[in-house]
Structure 1
Amino acid sequence: MLHEIKANQRKKISLATLLTGLVCLSVLLTVSILLVASYQSKKRSLIDTTLTLNFSSASKMSQTINSLFKSMRSSLQYSSSIFSNVNAMNPDEVYASLELMRHSSNYFNSISIVDETGLVRNVSPSSIGTAGKYITTEAAKAALASQKPYLSKPYIAASTNRLIVFMSEPLFDKEGIYRGFIGGTLYLQEYNILNMIFGSNPTDKVGSYFYIVGSDGHLLFHRDTTRLGENISANQVVSKLIQGQSGYEQMVNLHGESLLAGYVKVPENGWGVVVVSPISVVYEQLIRHIKSMLLYMMLPFSIFMLIVIGLARRLARPFISLADLVGKIGREHVDLPEGKQHWNREVDLLSTAVRYALTAIKKQTDQLTLDAMTDPLTGLTNRRTLEAIMHKWIEEGTSFSVIIMDLDRFKSINDTYGHQAGDEVLKHFAKIVTSTVRPSDVCCRFGGEEFIALIPQANAEEAYLVAERIRITLQNRDNPVGKPITVSQGIAHYSSHSDSAEELIHLADQALYKAKESGRNRTIIADIGGE
């Protein structure tokens, strides 16, 4: 009988073992919930940030291409006035002018002049060999027939088998009689102005890339040059670009890859710019984030587990309330219990360990939040936080002024004294700005040597006085490089200048540009209406 009793006892789970197992399970569950919650939150944040950055990059590239094609069009328009009476000009002089035009701007791979009959009067470079021949391509014939500015869709030239985009301007003599056109070509599969601008332009995130499509969905620029000319109009974002839409979204491309895409239409020529990042890049960052969290949590939770295992034999019912508290973490907001001593010594120690671990997690989360809002070099607010504050004030109808500041000739400081000295100058200037403005004002490092201050409840004239104090203080105060440093500043006011955050920064930047052009070391207020 005694033997049977002992055998039955061995089959039972001891209270100490049960409590230890329950506590271990609760802790592991808590950690899992925290990790899952952090994973999901970080995932959404990374996806949204990547989409926003890709859309911003696509917008900047679209603006660049738009300005580029306007300049190319202006170049042809200017040349059309020079060659309006090409029949009366010396062919050698015409060729020399075309060569000069092609080499000085690098806009076009080739430039040709065609008279009203379709005869190619001159072409640069001469190696193309079309001079003295009649045009044969449909694009050239369409340009000749239209007698208007013309931009072709990408096509393959039969004579050279090149993928080409063709742009032309009509030629009219002094009597207004049509005399043909001057046209330039871009060889998309060879070195051209697009390669020059974007060929060495990496994206911000590893693995990200961009491509440019024509108005009909054909690839005009891609990191894989063998794909140039490929029709990808079935791609979901390309089809939206063809319809004139811009935006950002998560998508699957024609090869089945899941991507985060930002896409923008180019107004001048109907092209589209698409910047994409593989979704795998986000997951790689998530894995690094989870590993970092585990590393930070390892020590406090290891200590916690050791304490629990050592005290498990002495814990009883009070342990249940602690387990319930830990089980709620990650699923709902939990206020940490006050640090009062418990009547049970073991429970008191365990409560302290739980508070320590959760406080460490909260401290880490708070630090990550602070890092996301702060410029690491100067300690000032970063650009993302500044833009959020501006939009919040605009939504609330709060009057404020924007002071945009740019250190004069900062590049020469880096070149002369080194980047470390340049960093000290930036921190020096940041201290001057923060010590000059009010505690309620917002100071931000906008990028490089450019800073922005938001002055709430201040008109442009009041902000001007603040900006002048900053400028004069910087000019007169000793600095890390030992020679005078100056700053140029531009000011815009909400809402007398604009009711848009982006437009306010743009107007202040224009005023800053005027200050630079006017000799630097001065402050200029933006004109009403951007005049």
Structure 2
Amino acid sequence: MISQNAASRFRGKIRRFKKISLTALLGGLVTISVLMTLTIMFISSYTSQKQSLINTTLSLNYSNAVQMSNTLDALFKSMQNNLAHDARYFADLDYSDSRKLNSALDLIKNSSNYFNSMTLVDSDGLVLSISPYSADSVGYHVSSEAAKTALRLQEPYISEAYKTPRKKRRIVFVSEPVFDAHGKFKGMIGGNIYLQDQNILNLLFGSQMKTSQGSHFFIVDSKGTLIYHPDTARIGENISRNTVVSKLLNNEKGKAQYRNLAGVDSLAGYYKVPTTDWGVVVVSPTQTVYDQLNHQIGLLILYTSVPFLLLTLIVIRVARQLARPFVSLTDLVQQVDQGRVDLPIMKPHWNREADLLNRTVLSALANFRKQREQLTYDARTDVLTGMTNRRTFEEVIQNWLDEGIRFSIVVLDIDRFKSINDTYGHHAGDEVLKHIANLIRLSVRPEDVSSRFGGEEFVVLLRDADTKEAYQIAENIRVSVAGSVMPVDRQVTISAGIAEHPLHSSSASELFHLADTALYRAKEEGRNRTVTIKALRK
């Protein structure tokens, strides 16, 4: 009797177990499969994109460090050339005529913005003149070791960063010896850069990397002392213990992921300045990469959650008749996870529910592909102007170099753009940028590539164009900008610099540097003009 009751209860349990519907079972299995597939997809996407973003950031920071190093190298060469010219002028002057010396030194100092102050010293180290004039210095002998060293060497000299004995200013001293017509040493002319005041380094680099979230750069001398840093209070600090700075002091160059002295994980590119033996380091916190990656993954989750939720609901309703379509659909999702996003042409299914499910999945995956393509487009496009961005420019120029295509590069910069922002506000400045970007697009050919390089600077790659053709196109752009009615109540002009591949160089960074040098000369010559590197070298 007990045995029969136990058997009856067991059969009752079996009957209750058989009441579980195949729809619920298959629906649950498919839902789990979809969720696992999505999880695998997001994990693999996160891992691959993380490394890609880190490598891209490192490469961009290294490229920026090289460009800034070349710019700084050209700057100090220009300083030394100017001082050499000034030294020849003072070689013929009478050192006893203080008024004439003061007037000449003031004129030289005010004619350029290289130095915060300039000094003329005789062969005994006596200060003959200083600009701006300071009665506390004229008539006294130089007291800094840098000035004494320059007098002793009697040759062009660039000092390390040091603190002046009397006023405790942190400066860099650049000097040139003065010899008379008979080769006799008469003294030296020197310029001082006040590192913690407004100076040529602030003017040249102050607007760099403002668009790069969290990124910054700094310059150190050959002892690891900070010469330039966004936080001016840190100028003069010795950071030779910094991992990247230590590599610079060992004459290394490159890119590295490291932890800085404050314990922040960072991505850096670093390069030495040949003229001064200084080092330029461009740094981005690693956290910015993770923030960008998390944002992209969040968008992917947002774009895929609704379609796949709809898919799950449909599967639960029609699972009984769709066991076989589930297998093919799961395979398709796995292919998407592996990066093969070419959607197949599905034949109509004999079952209406199965056919609807196929269409829904294809629609969801097509939307996923569309959103991913949009993310790719956003990563390669400047948000403000709609032009291609710096990343796309660097890819195109490298591809053209690899293919051996002849082309010219035009670097354009809006003249006195800061004054537009200061006068009319940044919104008006943005409207000017968009207006000029549109004029540039209208002036170039379909096969050319125009990019916003950063800030108020644009770059145009002219395919199969020599310097003469590039000059004509650049002039057309310059004239159209100068004659255009701007969104602000003033005329806006641009300056342009040109270099040609392979005539001038076969290196992307060197070509850009040459074009940028030509642009710098255009600025020096009065702005609103185009200068080619060929014309610059004559």
| TM norm structure 1 | 0.78
CA pair 42-70 structure 1, distance change in 2 beyond 3 A: same
**1:82-161 matches, cutoff 5 A:** 82-84=89-91, 88-125=95-132, 127=134, 129-161=136-168
Displacement of 1:43 in angstroms is: 2.3
Displacement of 1:277 in angstroms is: 0.9
Displacement of 1:270 in angstroms is: 1.5
Secondary structure of 1:44's counterpart equals helix
Displacement of 1:219 in angstroms is: 0.8
Q: Which runs of 5+ in 2 are unaligned?
A: 1-6, 487-492
Displacement of 1:107 in angstroms is: 3.3
Q: Does the CA-based 8 Å contact 1:85-1:179 persist in structure 2?
A: no
**1:216-295 matches, cutoff 5 A:** 216-295=223-302
- Counterpart selection for 1:213 from 207, 220, 224: 220
Q: Does the CA-based 8 Å contact 1:471-1:522 persist in structure 2?
A: no
1:57 aligns with 2:64: yes
Counterparts of 2:416 and 2:173, CA distance in 1: 42
Per-residue displacement from partner, 1:244-287 (whole Å, max 9, x unpaired)?
34332322222221111122222221111111110111111112
Secondary structure of 1:105's counterpart equals coil
Counterparts of 2:177 and 2:271, CA distance in 1: 30
Counterparts of 2:339 and 2:411, CA distance in 1: 45
Counterparts of 1:511 and 1:124, CA distance in 2: 30
Match of 1:312 in 2: 319
Counterparts of 2:444 and 2:54, CA distance in 1: 35
Secondary structure of 1:83's counterpart equals helix
1:189 aligns with 2:196: yes
Secondary structure of 1:241's counterpart equals helix
1:48 aligns with 2:55: yes
CA pair 499-22 structure 1, distance change in 2 beyond 3 A: same
Q: Does the CA-based 8 Å contact 1:443-1:453 persist in structure 2?
A: yes
CA pair 529-124 structure 1, distance change in 2 beyond 3 A: closer
Match of 1:30 in 2: 37
1:21 aligns with 2:28: yes
CA pair 367-467 structure 1, distance change in 2 beyond 3 A: farther
CA RMSD of aligned residues (A): 4.7
Match of 2:88 in 1: 81
Displacement of 1:379 in angstroms is: 6.9
Letter in 2 for 1:288: H
Counterparts of 1:237 and 1:246, CA distance in 2: 9
1:392 aligns with 2:399: yes
Identity of aligned residues (%): 45
Q: Does the CA-based 8 Å contact 1:34-1:330 persist in structure 2?
A: yes
Match of 1:177 in 2: 184
Secondary structure of 1:231's counterpart equals coil
Letter in 2 for 1:6: G
Q: Which runs of 5+ in 1 are unaligned?
A: none
**1:276-355 matches, cutoff 5 A:** 276-316=283-323, 318-331=325-338, 333=340, 336-355=343-362
Per-residue displacement from partner, 1:288-310 (whole Å, max 9, x unpaired)?
11222222223212221211122
Q: Does the CA-based 8 Å contact 1:33-1:329 persist in structure 2?
A: no
Displacement of 1:36 in angstroms is: 2.3
Greater shift, 416-425 or 158-167, is seen at 416-425
Letter in 1 for 2:190: G
CA pair 392-360 structure 1, distance change in 2 beyond 3 A: same
Size of the aligned set, in residue pairs, is 515
Q: Does the CA-based 8 Å contact 1:401-1:491 persist in structure 2?
A: no
